[in-house]
Amino acid sequence: MKKRWRTILGFGISAIFLYIALRGLDLQEVRYWLAQANYYWLIPSVAVYFVAVWGRTWRWHYMLRPIKAISLPRLFPIVCIGYMGNNIFPFRAGEVLRSYTLKRSEDVSMTASLATIVVERVFDGLVMLMFVFFALPFAPMPANLRPFVIVPSLIFLVLMAVFVTLATQPDLAQRVYRGTLRRVLPATVRTPTDGFVDRFLQGLHFFRSSRDILMVFFTSVFIWLAETLKYWFVMQAFVEQGGGLPVPFYVLMLMNGIVNLATTLPSAPGYIGTFDTPGIEVLAAYGVERSMAVGYTLVLHAALWFPITILGAWYFRRERLSWADIETARGQRTQRGEAA
């Protein structure tokens, strides 16, 4: 029942966002821009996107090193499988799939690897906020987009402070856990929960080195600059036709930041609506004709969704995985204290 309500919530939020984006829109004009676009520009856009995916793989390799050194060629397919899962399932279920695939192939604790994935998301959020605040002096933010920045800013800053504290003071974290939560847990689940806490703290080990934190931060900046470059390449498909998009690169940085902060909200699979509507609103706020903004954002979303989903599905098949493996992972969590 809980899973069904979460799914209903995600589809409901997507429907609201799509209604906001498409109300009063002339679909004939959108079709015009889609027909006029030069889709050859998608080739370099996809290439630069996979450079960003390789950057994500290197970042994860770096974060996993205190747990186990795994080569980039071995991690890259697992990262693709995870992003494919995020695009197909709601609530970022691909993160569980990525963690389970790593455990299955490399025997790395799911709890520890999921801790690194959660931290990845925090770094991504902080870089998105940095992009937004970098662009603000050049492109003041419209009032209707401020909630997409203010609330995530507070959440990501608090999470970063919590993770740094947990990683740098593991003894304090254990004392707090044993003095509070462990006391109220039933005896039957204390041992599995103890194991979960130990492995989660292991996944935060890299936080104990300021050098490692800086490396992960600068890698995150590289990843998102590469993805913004993809936004720019897709924009060229429309620039060549009829005057194009009158926005500079820093507005695309702002768009990238706000769009990816918005996709942290529950939604239908593939971030339908939560990706598109904020992107359209950013472009419209900076003078782009709304029908063109819709056409561009739809093409951009498709160019982000299809390549990684297709490649991830191919790796998924190559690894001989099945959708039932996600339920298997959850069963292992229940029996052994592994997080799924």
Q: Flag the least confident range among 43-57, 60-74, 123-137, 151-165.
A: 151-165
Q: Which of 92, 124, 111, 120 is nearest to 203 (CA)?
A: 111
Is residue 25 assigned to a domain? yes
Q: pLDDT of 255-297, one tens digit each?
A: 998 898 888 888 888 899 989 999 998 898 888 888 999 999 9
Please check whether residue 50 lies inside any domain of the structure. yes
**Residues 242-250, mean pLDDT to the nearest whole number:** 71
Nearest to 132 by CA among 109, 148, 114, 110: 148
Closest CA to 83 of 70, 71, 73, 93: 93
- Which of 86-95, 288-297, 325-334 is predicted most confidently? 288-297
DSSP states of 74-142 as a string? HHHHHHHHHHHHHHHSSTTTHHHHHHHHHHHHH---HHHHHHHHHHHHHHHHHHHHHHHHHHTTTSPPP
Residue 1 forms part of a structural domain? no
- The answer to whether residue 153 sits within a structural domain is yes
Q: How many CB atoms lie within 10 A of CB 131?
A: 24
Return the pLDDT at 338.
43
Q: Tell me how far the alpha carbon of residue 63 is from its chain's centroid.
A: 17
The residue whose two tokens read 């999470």 is: 159
With 60 as the cut, is the pLDDT of residue 330 above it? no
The per-residue pLDDT of the chain, averaged, comes to 82
For 36, residues 6+ apart whose C-beta sits below 8 A from its C-beta are 238, 241, 242
Residue 39 lies in a domain: yes
36 strand-pairing partners: none
Spatial contact of 212 and 62, defined as CB atoms under 8 Å apart:
yes
Instruction: Name which residue leads in pLDDT, 244 or 206.
Output: 206
Q: Is residue 51 a part of any domain in this protein? A: yes
What is the 3-state secondary structure of 249-310?
HHHHHHHHHHHHHHCCCCCEHHHECCCHHHHHHHHHHCCCCHHHHHHHHHHHHHHHHHHHHH
Residue 3 lies in a domain: no
For the record, the structure tokens of 198 come out as 């130990």
Domain assignment of residue 74, given as a range = 10-336
In the predicted structure, residue 169 carries a pLDDT above the cut 90: no
Return the amino acid letter for 2.
K
Number of domains in the chain: 1
Residue 281 forms part of a structural domain: yes
